[in-house]
Copies of this chain bind each other. A is one copy, B any other.
């Protein structure tokens, strides 16, 4: 049923372990000390998630120096890269914007600006679609069913979407600027 295997939390762990092998505790610390905290809270979710990733063959604990550091298996890396490569659908951003941004955050591991740009393309489409839906709802309901407060609440959502669009455009510029002469030469 639904079989979306690694959970958002699972992908967060996968991405972090790929950045640098860590212990379970080390992973927890990241959640506690960064905005990534939204994806977890304390051992009750992390340790079981790690075990499931391990059972699925996506990570392995390697004993290094008396510490068991988790690192990605090839399969784990494939899974992570596959996740990163998915285009952003409107429902993705609607249901769980945080997960979408998590994907963006990990996208730098690919070191392929073109992938990031493609991500931002689909991101903008998705957000624009959701924004249009909100506006359509406001137009259709306004002057009737919707209270003043209700309309304002929907407008909060619309404002958030507009901010996301502006962010995406800025991100695109930043990425482009960062991929200037030096890197572009190194790539081709």
Write the residues of chain A forming the contact surface with B, with a CB cutoff of 8 angstroms. Answer: 34-35, 38, 94-95, 101-102, 104-108, 116, 133-134, 137, 141, 147-150, 152-157, 159-160, 162-164, 166-167, 171, 174-175, 178
Contacts and interface: CB of A to CB of B under 8 A. Distances in A.
Count chain B CB atoms within 10 A of each CB in A102, A108, A163 and give the residue with the most.
A163
A16 to B, nearest CB: 11
A167 B155 contact: yes
A4 B104 CA distance: 33
B152 A35 contact: no
Given A35-B154, A108-B147, A160-B164, 20 more contacts: A34-B137, A38-B95, A101-B153, A101-B156, A101-B157, A102-B153, A104-B152, A104-B156, A105-B149, A105-B153, A108-B149, A108-B150, A148-B174, A148-B175, A148-B178, A152-B171, A152-B174, A156-B167, A160-B160, A162-B163
A106 B141 CA distance: 16
Q: In terms of DSSP, what is the predominant structure of the interface of chain A?
A: helix
Nearest to A155: B167
